[in-house]
Copies of this chain bind each other. A is one copy, B any other.
Amino acid sequence: MENYQPRLLQDDLYSIPIDEFFKSAFSVDCVIFGYHECELRVLLIQRGTEPFENYWALPGDLVYPNEDLDSAASRILKDLTTLTNIPIKQVKTFGKVDRHPLGRVITVAYLALVEPADLAPHASSWASQTQWHSINEIPQLAFDHRQILDVSLDELKNRVLHEDIWSKVLPSKFTLTQFQEVFETILGKSFDKGNFRKKVAKYKFLKQLDEAQKNVSHRPSLLYTFEAQKFAEMKLKGFSFEF
């Protein structure tokens, strides 16, 4: 390691031994949003140890010395929710010197959107309490987690327009109304039903089935499926929703 000297500032920096740079750690914090029937929630854990004992916090963990950053995020998501096929992507890294009371720890925030109903009741290997919290009723959070949550919520609004993470919270056959509700809930706006449907009809990745709802006390809706392949093609060409 001795050759890797910081090179920009020669004067004061060279007086810091290189070992001092290798006394920090990094963690991953996961912002796991859950969408179910027009409700947006986030998964929080209650801490069982100091610092911030008993505070609610985003689920997170230190990254193993031999573990990729992305792998760490997937591991945490899986341990918490048992879900493995959910895309979890980086949001931002938080690196204030004093953000962790016990040492220099920077944390990388990751974001996922899941359907809570998909979760098997998760194993108790996790000591602390785990709970969904409505996005409008968030308790005081440990560390800088409130800031991380706010940034992640903005990022969620952005991603739902540019990526297909919304597809994970819809059943395999869904109505256009359900589709619309996902966007209305996450973006916090509402759209004219007729116009929304007309806009959406152009998208080739929504395929209409020869099948309709049953046992609803009104005109049954036609069902659609999501064709991930087609979406990927359009995304390559720069597609994004414009709601």
Residues in chain A within 8 A of chain B (CB atoms): 1, 3-10, 13, 16, 20-26, 48-51, 59, 61-70, 75-76, 79-80, 90, 92-97, 100, 102-104, 106, 108, 125-128
Contact = CB atoms under 8 A, between A and B. Distances in A.
A95 B75 contact: no
21 contacts: A3-B49, A3-B102, A4-B100, A4-B103, A5-B49, A6-B61, A7-B49, A7-B61, A7-B126, A10-B125, A10-B127, A16-B65, A21-B25, A24-B24, A63-B95, A65-B104, A66-B97, A68-B95, A69-B95, A70-B95, A106-B108
Report whether over half of chain A's contact residues are helix, strand or loop; otherwise say mixed: loop
A227 B59 CA distance: 42
Nearest to A104: B65
A22 B103 contact: yes
A241 to B, nearest CB: 13
Given A92-B90, A95-B108, A103-B1, A65 B24 contact: yes
B9 A79 contact: yes
Q: Which 8 A-B pairs have the closest CB atoms?
A: A69-B95, A93-B93, A21-B25, A8-B61, A6-B62, A21-B62, A6-B61, A22-B25
